[in-house]
Amino acid sequence: MAEDTQALTLSETEMQLVVFDLASEYYGVDIGAVREIIRMQGITRVPGAESFVEGLINLRGRVVPVVDLRKRLNLAVGEQTKDSRIVVVDIAGQDVGVVVDGVTEVLRIPLSSIEPPSSMVTSVESDYLRGIAKLETKLIILLDLDKVFSAIERQAISSIGVAAKEPPSTAEVEEETEPVSGRGKKKKKALVASTH
């Protein structure tokens, strides 16, 4: 019971973050939203997707949509390097891969070190800024990933992932084949993807 109270006290006074680099600035997200961090891999492009949607990856049998956070935050688009990573996060209940320049650390920060963002740098469209964490050596911009994308954008990202998960419908057709070793014609069944 004492351990539960201590954990509760810690969570009320500290926040645990995954910190990543994006356009030479530090950004942090709550560790509870991060599923995993993976190296860059081949991304399958999706025609007609939003400009910030990079495409889809196959993550151990799961199809996960991937977005470029630089593009979404209107930052200069940079080249991918050996440090670039895909951070798989939970955005409104769906796993989404977020491309970042590099993941720097996981750390605990006291809530007392977080200041709300200045009204001079925020607008209605930037309510995804949770605050600024002031550390001795750097500032970390805290993001609320659920608010980085509008409801319409989240729906678009979700529909890309769902459409990719659905297998094409199949119909069995019988096809006549030539005789094998003179035993007459055989019928074989083939699965043919039907077009919608």
Res 171: pLDDT: 39
Per the model's pLDDT, the better-predicted residue between 47 and 164 turns out to be 47
Residue 119 has pLDDT above 90, yes or no: no
Residue 180 domain-assigned? no
The Cα 130–Cα 156 span in angstroms is: 24
| Residue 22 included in any domain | yes
* pLDDT single digits (tens) 3-41: 444 444 445 789 999 999 999 999 999 999 999 999 999
Number of domains in the chain: 1
Give the pTM.
0.71
Task: Let me know if residue 175 belongs to a domain.
Answer: no
Residue 189 lies in a domain: no
**Domain boundaries, position 59:** 2-167
Band of the pLDDT at 140, cuts 50, 70, 90? very high
Domain with 23 in it: what CATH number? 2.40.50.180
Residue 20 domain-assigned?
yes
DSSP states along 94-140: EEEEEEESEEEEEEEEEGGGEEPPPTTT--GGGTTEEEEEE-SS-EE
- Model pLDDT, residue 158: 80
